[in-house]
Copies of this chain bind each other. A is one copy, B any other.
Amino acid sequence: MDIATLFGIIVGFALVLGAIFLGGSISIFVNIPGLMIVIGGTFAATCVTFPLEEVLQAFGGGARAFGIKKVKPQEVVSTMVRIAEISRREGLVALEKIKTENALLKKACQLIADNADPMLIRDTVMIEIATMKRRHNVSIAVFKRLGMYAPAFGMIGTLIGLVQMLSQLDDPKSIGPAMAVAILTTFYGALMANLLFIPIAGKLKARTLQEEVQLNIIFEGAKSILENNNPRLVYEKLSSFISPKERRSGGRQ
């Protein structure tokens, strides 16, 4: 579990609910038709914007924002240095035996062991990285769009409420409550966008950036192994991906 994601959402909603309770009844903040317009409209517009499989993929990706599967860059660097040592001792063919969960690393090792053309290996790894980024960017784009449509449909709901209220201005006493209801959809849209959609898009982007670093370490490591650098220089180069603080604590091989 990524505690920060869940913690932030719970604390955020708790604060809003607290402020509502302090000011009186919570029932005046519930308006089912308003909720339907904002939530329904937002998702309808998102379905028009993206192919269905991308919307579903994004929600799968959004769930990832709550999960934890972080690989520290130091570990990837260590792995690559270890592979460099193996390839030096036992030859490039030995890389075929490397066992790893990382699909890119596996593919790179296999291509190196196959003695493939360095240019081909380079192209393959770069396509792999671009494909990963494109897939993640789609999920990020879906949540960003949700974060744009939610306030827009909040405003549309408020406009509907205002038109209805203004066209039957008979009883001055009814203006206040009717306007309160009209404003509610704007409130729903702003809250959903700023506490759910936009932040989740941000978390997915942070994840993508971290994963990108990891893939770049593998890419640069594979390049060095192919050019037959010695493991110490491989470490020197790859350790540049780690922040200085963590570098020191990891020590030098």
Contacts and interface: CB of A to CB of B under 8 A. Distances in A.
A52 to B, nearest CB: 4
A54 B15 CA distance: 23
Given A167-B176, A183-B163, A124 B240 contact: yes
Nearest to A202: B49
A86 interface: no
Question: Which DSSP category, helix, strand, loop or mixed, fits chain A's interface?
Answer: helix
B195 A2 contact: no
A187 B156 contact: yes
Nearest to A186: B159
Contact size range, A: 35 or more
25 contacts: A7-B47, A8-B44, A8-B45, A9-B48, A15-B37, A16-B160, A18-B33, A20-B164, A45-B198, A48-B65, A48-B195, A50-B206, A107-B240, A117-B227, A117-B229, A120-B224, A120-B227, A123-B220, A127-B241, A131-B240, A131-B241, A149-B194, A159-B183, A163-B187, A169-B175
